[in-house]
Amino acid sequence: MNRNRSASLQRRAESLIPGGVDSPVRSFRAVGGNPPWFERGSGAYLYDVDGNRYLDCIASWGALLFGHAHPAVTAAITAAAARGSSFGASCPGELELADAVVRALPAAAGIEMLRFVNSGTEATMSAVRLARGFTGREGVLKFSGAYHGHADLFLVEAGSGVATLGLATSAGVPAGAVFNTHTVPYNDLAAVEAVLEQQRGTMAAIIVEPVAGNMGCVPPAPDFLPGLRALATRHGALLIFDEVMTGFRLARGGASERYGIRPDLVTLGKILGGGLPVAAYGGRRDLMNLIAPLGPVYQAGTLSGNPLAMAAGLASLELAAAPGVYEGLEAWGLEIEQGLVQAIADTGASARVQRVGSMLTVFFCAPPVANFADARASDTRAFARFHARMLEQGILWPPSQFEAAFFGTAHGPAEAAALLAAARSALGEG
Ligand code: PMP
């Protein structure tokens, strides 16, 4: 596959943009080779500047559930753009999208009010500020290998690109910013309880990816989320479900619906924006009433709730409300999971598949992955070989062992067949 134009753009970009990328996860450092540069996307496919077509299993890191350039989303954006992209004042789209979110999430999620922001990073950062403002406490408990955006306080044993690049933390983060961040292994309730006991009365929030996606796909053990709910309540800490990745993906009502757990605050992003920068945080009215201008917890944004992004989000949530969307995603995901498991068995590859709904990771290790330490035991060289062979066959797989692949409604039977044939060949080459 010729990727000369991509290689040339990458070289030029490296002199202007650090690493040639605007987000480290896009770089191919962990897998080697040059990332393709894309000029167009349509449905399940991306087209690079050299004219190659790829079956996209990254889906803008989970932001797209309905494929690239879905006609309904494109029409909504185009119509909104003609009316102006940002007013710096309220527009009806904000109300419509807020209403759609509250209706989509189950009553069980307990979102009575929400505030729109522009990125998942802003949403999680603001949710923690609110939790701290509400409780008057400063401690935050997170899980190693989880990623909640790049705000200072979260950059401790973080997942996603931080894990991919093998960084323990980030330079430039003041010690004071992470002083109150406590990190324990995912799926380890005893460790959570031990920290809560030891830090008695100081913990503002437990923040969790209800299905971890940023160390690869790691499902919660059956007792994990209910256990967190109970421990948070017992210790007077708020439970924040970071559903930036899982919201509108694992079910219309996200992980809260899928697992039937009621967090105190929820953060949303990715699919919520239909491919434009939108995220949100929300929760009970008594909590959200603390946000400025009503209350003392400050949070703001020049472009927050802009009509263009609201239109894209609304079109996306309308698509999510169609009957059968999540059943279809589950069926497609199951077919891929079973096909990959069979290919692994047939080829004798040392790998395992972990999936929840339309999130899936092929870990190059044999034992189940329940936390970041397990994930890190994977053979990242074997993963890199798999990635390169998939790319050569026109399958765009996330360029890191510590990320999930994402599927959407544009992935049909032809895509399943192509993906499984490519994977079988990639795994078979050892
Ligand atoms: N939380 C989670 C669970 C995420 O997966 C991400 C991004 N992958 C974020 C927060 C940060 O979102 P953003 O990149 O929009 O800042």
Mean pLDDT across the chain, nearest whole number? 96
275 CA → ligand 1 middle, Å: 13
Tell which CATH architecture fits domain 4-69+324-428.
Alpha-Beta Complex (3.90)
Q: How far is the CA of 248 from the centre of ligand 1 (A)?
A: 14
> What beta strand segments (E) does 284-393 contain?
352-356, 359-363
Q: Residue 277 CA: which ligand 1 atom is closest?
A: 15
Residue of 147, 242, 271, 303 to test ligand 1 pocket, by largest number of atoms within 8 Å of CB? 147
Question: Is 13's pLDDT higher than 80?
Answer: yes
Q: For residues 284 and 47, what is the distance between their CA atoms, to the nearest angstrom? A: 43
Taking CA atoms only, the protein residue closest to ligand 1 atom 5 is 245
Q: How many residues make up the chain in this entry?
A: 430
Tokens 């899936």 — which residue? 360
Query: How far away, in angstroms, is 120 Cα from ligand 1 center?
Result: 5
First-to-last alpha carbon distance for the chain, in angstroms, is 21
Q: What is the average per-residue pLDDT within 280-307?
A: 97
β partners of residue 242:
267
Percent of the chain with pLDDT over 90: 93
Sorting pLDDT into bands at 50, 70 and 90, what band is 429? Answer: confident
Q: What is the secondary structure of 166-192 as a DSSP string?
A: T-SB-TT--HHHHTTEEEE-TT-HHHH
Mean pLDDT of 379-386: 97
Is-contact 423 235, C-beta < 8 A? no
Q: How confident is the model at residue 227 (pLDDT cuts 50, 70, 90)?
A: very high
Section 371-385 average pLDDT: 97
Radius of gyration of the chain (CA): 21
Task: Assess whether 22 carries a catalytic annotation.
Answer: no
> Is residue 142 annotated as a catalytic residue, yes or no?
no
- Check: CATH 3.30.70.270 for 71-320? no
147 lines ligand 1 (CB under 6 A): yes
Residues 20/27, Cβ–Cβ less than 8 Å: yes
| Least confident range of 61-70, 164-173, 288-297, 340-349 | 164-173
Alpha helices in 155-296 (DSSP H): 161-164, 175-178, 189-198, 224-235, 254-259, 285-288
CB burial readout 289-305, b (16+ within 10 A) else e: eebeeeeebebeeeebb
pLDDT of 80 > 90? The answer is yes
Domain ranges of the chain: 4-69+324-428, 71-320
- Residue showing tokens 């009316």: 83
Is 45 tagged catalytic? no
Q: What is the pLDDT of residues 199-210, one digit of tens each?
A: 999 999 999 999
Atom index in ligand 1 nearest the CA of residue 269 equals 15
The average pLDDT across 113-138 equals: 98
Residue 70, number of CB atoms within 10 A of its CB: 23
For residue range 91-116, what is the model confidence (pLDDT) as tens digits? 999 999 999 999 998 776 679 999 99
What value does the mean pLDDT take over residues 246-275?
96
Residue 167 has pLDDT above 80, yes or no: no
Predicted confidence band of residue 430 (pLDDT cuts 50, 70, 90):
low
* Average pLDDT of the residues in 364-389: 97
Tell me, what's the pLDDT at 153? 95
Would the pTM count as exceeding 0.75?
yes
Q: Which atom of ligand 1 is nearest the CA belonging to 242?
A: 3
Summarised one tens digit per residue, pLDDT across range 304-360 is: 999 999 999 999 999 999 999 999 999 999 999 999 999 999 999 999 999 999 999
Residue 130, pLDDT above cutoff 70: yes
Q: What's the CA gap between 335 and 340, in Å, rounded?
A: 9
Strand order in the sheet with 279-283: 113-117, 279-283, 265-268, 238-243, 203-208, 139-143, 181-184
Mean per-residue pLDDT, 9-28: 96
Q: How remote is the CA of residue 276 from the centroid of ligand 1, in Å?
A: 14
